[in-house]
Structure 1
Amino acid sequence: MTIIPTRHNSLLAKPKLLLWRFLIIILSLSPEASAQVISNTQRVQQRLLYIEAIQATENNDTINFQRLYQQLAGYPLRPYLEYHQLLKNFGTIDDADVGLFLRANTGSLIAERLQYLWLRHKVQLQDWPGFIKHDDETRFQSTDMQCARLLAHSGNNVIAPNLHNSVRQLWAQNGTLHEQCLILFSNALQQAIIADDDIWARYLSLFKSNTDNANTLYFYLNPKDQHLANQLLKARSSPEQASTIYSGLSLNENLLVSAYAIKKLAELSPPQAMLLLPETKLTKQAYEKSAYYIAWQITLESPGDAYQWLKTIDTEFQHPALTEFKITLALTNNHWQEISSLIEQLPHTLQMSPRWQYWSIRAQEKSSPSESARWQKHYQALAQQRNYYGFLAAARSKTPPQFNDQSQPLTPQITHTNGIFQQNASLRRAIELYHFGATKLARREWQHGIASLNPSQQRMVAVAAHHNQLHHQSVQTIIQAQLWDHLNLRFPTAYRYFVKVASESTQIHPSWLFAIIRQESQFDPGHRSSVGEIGLMQLQIKHGQSHERSKTLLDPRINIQLGARYFKQLLDRFNNNYSLACAAYEAGPDIIESWVEKNRQITDLDQWIESIPYQQVRHYVQNTLVFNAIYRYLLGQPSMILADHQRFPASESSDFLTSSPYLSLPGKRRPQE
């Protein structure tokens, strides 16, 4: 865990005066608290002393450290100095040292972190009485802590009967096994607490992601299951034999193996999986899941074949997810008259969701176009909602979308906000950590701080963050408060000048750029995704590019300009169709182009979006369209979720498949359902 920045020169070179102004505004403008407020000079001096204290710690200068530590009384980050000292001397401190720190910092993020590390230390020492003394069952629920807790309560490695169910529940969880879990499970296996079926289930679960981890359980399998495991290993290591092996295993009496094998067969040969599925002995639930997966694999090549095959599935199988998938396939293939009856098969709560209300009306519209007055009335009712389908209904009924905006003036309530910060040490620490560039830790402190506030207080803090250009924190705080109708805080127009310049150079309306930024990063300029995308518009660094290039792309001006340029190239490639360009921005243009090519029978854009087989891409497009409509509203522009130029009749489908060079900056990953 990063405790403090270690590059002291960089800390001194670029002080973040904006964040200092944040603290001054919050703490200095309240006459009631003037006696408690420190001066600008005092805060700067404290920060310099803090840096000196860090250097003294790293230089093992105990005397100087103690002097500086005393001088920093009242400074928000002072506990981090003591924490850093405790970590540095972790091998020599005792329960009394830790207990003193925990009591002095009760309820803080840093105390929770030290307590967790101390518990792990007790596990390493196998000091189980000490572990129990410092444990907090309500706070530490990670798998490794649960395993350690069960070990601590198991004398002489013998698991008491009253703990057996807890061990079995942990066994059923997926994920990486920590050392204490390996010890616990080894004891459980030796004491026959885990049944053969449960051993096999975990083996199979591990096998799906990591063969080596699965093999640690191989010798605990019974001989029959070992034979099945050998078959699975052979299929994985011999691709040329995989289809044959999976075909045989899909009919195995072991239902877990059967379900796994039919899924793998669907990936290799969907037609073969279609033929074998009825011959399996799968449970109803497993059968439905397998049918869904097979149909999804077929859909990637031929949605029409997938729909016709699903219609042959026994009508007793009525799982809502499978029925919903049938509806989307019916939409994809223009089977409008069948959609209404399929929607009626859904549970009532799903039927009344905006999604299926909209498509029920659309099906009526397509099936009975002469009854326009009836379906227009239903559209208008649905159009009262502020969501994707409500906005679509507004577009269909040619009525203005309803934003239900309850935004309040973004005027800081200085007196009240001052009191919140005075009483909330986590928020004060967050401000200081932002100043020093310890962004990740600052965010954790911020989230920890706002969690204890009520919605009214959270809104005041969000407004303060907004005024000081901490837009990501403002958005996160208003989401935490669940104040969904406060649109001016949920959808900031930050970096407006950079967006304006990028908009003018690419001829893309600012609302689209704001919408993409809001969807991609929630206005966090330093955001880095797990797949390497960085910055406001989540641009991806190509393999081998330098660290300096990465830092350049974190610059909001450059990130927005390059992101807008890439989006413009996608618009050119997809004939200025913003919805297709959004889908390509998320999934990559090739996969979207291929999907459009295979679905030329689709006549309307809302129909095409609904038929996207990749859930994350579908939600991305829907979110971005909604965000764009909201930003147009906030910018004082007419809002319509699907403009006329975005529709694409089948006769024009080839127009947006033009090929043109494009900048492969985001290079989005292939999505997974």
Structure 2
Amino acid sequence: MRRESMPKPRRWRALLRLAVVLAAFPAASSLAADLSQQRAAFRRAFDAVEHGRDWKAEAPTLEEYPLLGALQALELARRVDKLKRADLEAFLARWPDAMASEDLRRAWLGIRAERGEWKEFLAVYSDNATRELSCHALSARLADGAKLTYAADIKPLWEGNHALPSACDGPVKWALEHRQLDTARLWQRIEHAAAAGQAGWITPLVALLPAADRPAATRLALALREPAVALKQATSWPNDARHRDAVAHALARLARREAASAHAQFLALQGRFTFSETQKGQVAAALALYQATEFGAEALARLANLPTPAQTDSTREWRVRVALAASDWPAALAGLDALSDTQKADAEWRYLRARVLTKLGRRDEAAPLFAAVAREANFFGFLAADWTEQPYSICALSVESSPDLVQSLRRTGLDRAFEWRAVGRGREARREWDHTLARLEPANRRVAADLAYREGWYDRAVFALNKGEELKLYEQRFPLAREPQIRRESHETGLDPAWTYAIIRAESAWVEDARSHANALGLMQLIPETAARVAKANKLPYSRPEDLFLPDTNIALGTRYLAQMAGKYNGAPWLASAAYNAGPGAVQRWLDARSALEPDFFIASIPYRETREYVARVLAFSVIYDWRMNGSAVALATRLPRYGQAFLPPSKSTARKKVICPAPLEPAAPAVATTRATPGA
């Protein structure tokens, strides 16, 4: 029975237990401690609880402290296996919205599920749980005599784009036994996993299939996991639909790493397997796509000649990129024409269409395209404005708030998030913030983001304001944090401060303790080994990787490493940004092949999507930060000198562009000018 329907005697018993639980914690001191005392006491108490010591001596100081509940939850979590439900409910009632409550609830539910205490489980379970707990809840309902249905209970788990935890085994077994799942639905999930490239999702499903179907599913998983091994074995596989599908997946996967080998094996296996036209197209598309990313001699023809059903957004996109890399303007225009409607609406392709039309001498057609794109505050919009000699279009909004609203929002849980940050617990601070923000209305989320910005917690504002009109909150999304240091370090290293800001914003979004999967650390995402070399070369203090979480150290080393990258390319920000992201070795390979391209076309031909988008993002952020710092901006075109030409950071005498917010309706843009500061000129 759920708490909502608990009869009055049980409610009174819960309240009594609440009093007992709270009585275990000493009463508040009559003397209110100031915040610094509370924080110091909390640190001592937290350390004591983590190490199994008594913390009650600190309790009088912490009675009114926002993180008292988190401290109590940590202590209760140490004995969660023995925690009575009523005691848990009492704690949840005291701290209903805290992240600590949700953590404690989930830990308690996990223990009850392990023990099969399903009535207790259902009494505390709430729908906003993890996938594992959701499956435990299905098991609890089955134990209570309920019947599940595919549409309401199984389908949300079965058709989702995720792996199923072992907790789902019981409900899945029940669904199979009661014909809520059958062989067709098992294969539906297996095929979904194959389309997502997830061999690990398939393996646990194999045993659920009829014996005759298991070899094909096992081989499909092998095709995804080890395509070369699968193709060697394929010569002995039967020529049926499922095995043909496994071979097609293996060929497509192998093409990503060894296109030539995949093509040779495709030709060899065609004599054994009667591939469908769809499967042939799948393999042909993979071969064409992965040859395209290496700019092979036949790549453009392969992409252009793909049957329509075999084409994807990726193959259509790369048809254009390969044509641009070859400076084949008619082929590029044909590729642009073949894009999907969704792709054609993207600013990149509208800008590139205008550029290609200009190359073909069709300036009158290019002009309105440039004018439309120039109204957007992004890399392509800024470049389009440069081509047409228009001011930059940036329309800034502000957050409407009030002191009463801010105080109200603080009480929803933001105060706990800010306190976690104040005591140096960044991970807990972000979790509490995200937990609280998810419960706020959109307008209040903006106010919360603005509050984080005002208090110097810049990354929370950046991540919170990420869609729709929120993107126009430039003050919060592009904070001028640590400005004296960034100006000083940029000046000392010969960098444009706006570019330094842009790198920080693109690398870490101002998360001071950011750590990437490659172990890059801090604001400017430096690899510790790189930081050590830069520190030694510049005689700067640095002793351990954790030093990179100190903003002063990170920015001092990061600006010098960025300047080192710039020095390799005559100061060109676009090439140095690419090298900062992908490494100078990759950039040199691209330059060896395509250095004669104009910079915007070169960027469009960067094989790594991450780097291609990173360079565009950094350069756009440079314009925005330039405007934020100076009220106007140096033309983005000047940041794109051709390879081999020198770039000098902007000075007081550098021409600057006006930034405006255009009216919703604007007269048609003039024809493309014949004399201008053009990108790469």
- Select the residue among 561, 576, 582 that pairs with 1:581: 576
Partner of 1:293: 286
Partner of 2:67: 77
- The answer to whether 1:561 aligns with 2:549 is no
TM superposition shift of 1:374? 4.7
- Select the residue among 601, 607, 617 that pairs with 2:611: 617
- The answer to whether 1:122 aligns with 2:84 is no
SS in 1 for 2:66: coil
Cα 1:505–1:443, aligned 2, differ >3 Å: closer, same or farther? same
- Select the residue among 519, 532, 535 that pairs with 2:506: 519
Cα 1:418–1:144, aligned 2, differ >3 Å: closer, same or farther? closer
- The answer to whether 1:302 aligns with 2:284 is no
Q: Is the 8 A contact 2:252 2:282 kept in 1?
A: no
SS in 2 for 1:430: helix
- The answer to whether 1:154 aligns with 2:142 is yes
Q: Is the 8 A contact 2:289 2:314 kept in 1?
A: no
Q: Distance in 1 between matches of 2:196 and 2:343?
A: 32
TM superposition shift of 1:131? 1.8
Partner of 1:143: 131
> Residues 433-469 of structure 1, C-alpha deviation per residue, up to 9 Å, x if partnerless?
1221111111222233344555665555444433433
Structure 1 letter corresponding to 2:35: R
Q: Distance in 2 between matches of 1:433 and 1:223?
A: 54
- Select the residue among 332, 344, 353 that pairs with 1:339: 332
Partner of 2:460: 473
Q: Is the 8 A contact 1:318 1:345 kept in 2?
A: no
Cα 1:358–1:561, aligned 2, differ >3 Å: closer, same or farther? same
Residue segments in structure 2 that go unaligned for 5+ positions in a row: 1-29, 533-541, 648-681
Q: Distance in 1 between matches of 2:524 and 2:346?
A: 31
Q: Is the 8 A contact 1:433 1:442 kept in 2?
A: yes
Partner of 1:445: 432
Partner of 1:661: none
Structure 2 letter corresponding to 1:305: E
Q: How does 1:233-248 map to 2 (within 5 A)?
A: 244-245=232-233
Aligned length in residues: 603
Partner of 1:640: 635
Q: Distance in 1 between matches of 2:578 and 2:509?
A: 18
Q: Is the 8 A contact 1:455 1:481 kept in 2?
A: no
Q: Distance in 1 between matches of 2:555 and 2:116?
A: 53
Structure 1 letter corresponding to 2:509: Q
Q: Distance in 1 between matches of 2:52 and 2:177?
A: 48
SS in 1 for 2:241: coil
TM superposition shift of 1:519? 0.5
Aligned CA RMSD, in angstroms, stands at 4.1
> Residues 372-416 of structure 1, C-alpha deviation per residue, up to 9 Å, x if partnerless?
3553343233211111221121122232322223458xxx97734
Q: Distance in 2 between matches of 1:488 and 1:159?
A: 54
Partner of 1:538: 525
Q: Distance in 2 between matches of 1:364 and 1:252?
A: 49
Q: Is the 8 A contact 2:508 2:524 kept in 1?
A: yes
Q: Distance in 2 between matches of 1:544 and 1:536?
A: 13
Partner of 2:255: 266
Q: Distance in 1 between matches of 2:167 and 2:185?
A: 19
Partner of 1:47: 39
Partner of 1:16: none
Q: Distance in 2 between matches of 1:595 and 1:534?
A: 27
Cα 1:246–1:403, aligned 2, differ >3 Å: closer, same or farther? farther
SS in 1 for 2:581: helix
Structure 2 letter corresponding to 1:266: A
Q: Is the 8 A contact 1:383 1:391 kept in 2?
A: yes
Partner of 1:363: 356
Q: Distance in 2 between matches of 1:51 and 1:97?
A: 25
Q: Is the 8 A contact 1:249 1:261 kept in 2?
A: no
Partner of 2:666: none
Cα 1:105–1:290, aligned 2, differ >3 Å: closer, same or farther? farther
TM superposition shift of 1:628? 0.8
- The answer to whether 1:392 aligns with 2:386 is no
Q: Distance in 2 between matches of 1:544 and 1:494?
A: 22
Q: Distance in 2 between matches of 1:270 and 1:59?
A: 56
Cα 1:104–1:419, aligned 2, differ >3 Å: closer, same or farther? same
Identity %: 25
Cα 1:404–1:219, aligned 2, differ >3 Å: closer, same or farther? closer
Structure 1 letter corresponding to 2:390: T
Q: Is the 8 A contact 1:632 1:639 kept in 2?
A: yes
TM superposition shift of 1:72? 3.5
Cα 1:500–1:289, aligned 2, differ >3 Å: closer, same or farther? farther
Q: Is the 8 A contact 1:196 1:221 kept in 2?
A: yes
Cα 1:590–1:45, aligned 2, differ >3 Å: closer, same or farther? closer
Residue segments in structure 1 that go unaligned for 5+ positions in a row: 1-37, 657-673
Q: Distance in 1 between matches of 2:591 and 2:231?
A: 30
Partner of 1:133: 123
Q: Is the 8 A contact 1:304 1:329 kept in 2?
A: no
Partner of 1:18: none
Partner of 1:379: 370
SS in 2 for 1:525: coil
Structure 1 letter corresponding to 2:614: Y
Q: Is the 8 A contact 1:302 1:598 kept in 2?
A: no
Q: Distance in 2 between matches of 1:226 and 1:572?
A: 58
TM superposition shift of 1:629? 1.1
Q: Distance in 2 between matches of 1:202 and 1:345?
A: 32
TM superposition shift of 1:514? 0.5
- The answer to whether 1:351 aligns with 2:340 is no
Structure 2 letter corresponding to 1:46: Q
> Residues 482-504 of structure 1, C-alpha deviation per residue, up to 9 Å, x if partnerless?
52222222111212233223212
Q: Distance in 2 between matches of 1:543 and 1:209?
A: 34
Q: Distance in 2 between matches of 1:229 and 1:459?
A: 48
- The answer to whether 1:606 aligns with 2:600 is yes
Structure 2 letter corresponding to 1:486: L
Q: How does 1:213-232 map to 2 (within 5 A)?
A: 217-222=205-210, 224-228=212-216
Q: Is the 8 A contact 1:243 1:269 kept in 2?
A: no
TM superposition shift of 1:180? 1.3
> Residues 88-135 of structure 1, C-alpha deviation per residue, up to 9 Å, x if partnerless?
221222111111112222233222222222221221111122222222
Cα 1:130–1:514, aligned 2, differ >3 Å: closer, same or farther? same
Partner of 1:26: none
Q: Is the 8 A contact 1:168 1:194 kept in 2?
A: no
- Select the residue among 312, 324, 327 that pairs with 2:317: 324
Q: How does 1:587-598 map to 2 (within 5 A)?
A: 587-598=582-593
> Residues 505-553 of structure 1, C-alpha deviation per residue, up to 9 Å, x if partnerless?
32111111100100111112111123311100111234999x9611112
- The answer to whether 1:253 aligns with 2:241 is yes
Q: Is the 8 A contact 2:157 2:164 kept in 1?
A: no
Structure 1 letter corresponding to 2:569: F
Cα 1:181–1:645, aligned 2, differ >3 Å: closer, same or farther? closer
SS in 1 for 2:322: helix
Q: Distance in 1 between matches of 2:442 and 2:154?
A: 39
TM-score normalized by structure 1? 0.77
Cα 1:57–1:211, aligned 2, differ >3 Å: closer, same or farther? same
TM superposition shift of 1:45? 3.7
Q: Distance in 2 between matches of 1:247 and 1:558?
A: 59
- Select the residue among 405, 409, 424 that pairs with 2:396: 405
